[in-house]
Chain A
């Protein structure tokens, strides 16, 4: 296409241009997702542990993207059940060391290209949640978890819920904003147990 348009045509173009859809959330189609993924493949590069395979969308991301995080309930429930069945729950007590858990909750590191692979990651928990009353700089994207265990107890069922939710939050709420910390291999089994302890252990500051 010639770039130098006749003046009149250019003027027409200007005056006819509809206002941009500022402030409106577009409905994304499967085709849009593929277009964006292709753009990411073209315009991004791998760095450190952040490999290019991360731009590929999985089933959860696809469904949430095309429905702006509000997928049809039936589809969401079916996928959640599938994810729940895939969580590798360890046997025995799921309560680790809350002191180690507190450190993991404080740390915002892990899974970034700037993090050394193999170095212990954090869970970024305080970025979004209130936990220990000693930490007053907490985020609010997620609900407050203060008194979590005090309110709910630490039954085996509650341990399983907390462990599973941290391992794969999407198994409980498909389009949750919470990362899948176990599924994404950000945190280890032991680290998740330590976070379960931070939430459920009666001695944890969360329950004071």
Chain B
């Protein structure tokens, strides 16, 4: 990450990149490096979210392959400003976090990798409070394995 920042700064200094087009490039390294979902959420500032039935996770219960697991998320919580997706049993559970500003709806469809059968955890933030919904997705092995 630091390497990337340095590279970007060097490019900026050299005038290669137009500063206006350049990225703010914030990436929550601590949250993404966390090895369990709890630590990842702490680093996102969303520790102990409360369960909510207003986060809808649309995903298959059983996946034919863990390399691509489609997950569709809708938050019906008013004024949702961000959605984070975590796969509990992945080596690094945090898959991504999306901030929704004015003009965007709190909806997201993403393909995630899952190393094994796991709970998928979706955390939505609204008005400084955090909410969570989970869904188990079973990952299977297919094919001849050759």
Q: Which residues of A contact B (CB under 8 A)?
A: 106-109, 112, 114-115, 122, 124, 127, 136-137
Contacts and interface: CB of A to CB of B under 8 A. Distances in A.
A124 B144 CA distance: 7
Interface of B: 140-146
A122 B140 CA distance: 20
Contacts of B142: 137
Nearest to B140: A137
Interface of B is mostly: loop
Interface of A is mostly: loop
Nearest to B139: A137
Nearest to A135: B141
B115 to A, nearest CB: 14
Contacts of B141: 137
Contacts of A109: 145-146
Contacts of B145: 106-109, 122, 124, 127
Nearest to A112: B146
18 contacts: A107-B145, A108-B143, A108-B144, A108-B145, A108-B146, A109-B145, A109-B146, A112-B146, A114-B146, A115-B146, A122-B145, A124-B144, A124-B145, A127-B144, A127-B145, A137-B140, A137-B141, A137-B142
A138 to B, nearest CB: 9
A108 B141 CA distance: 12
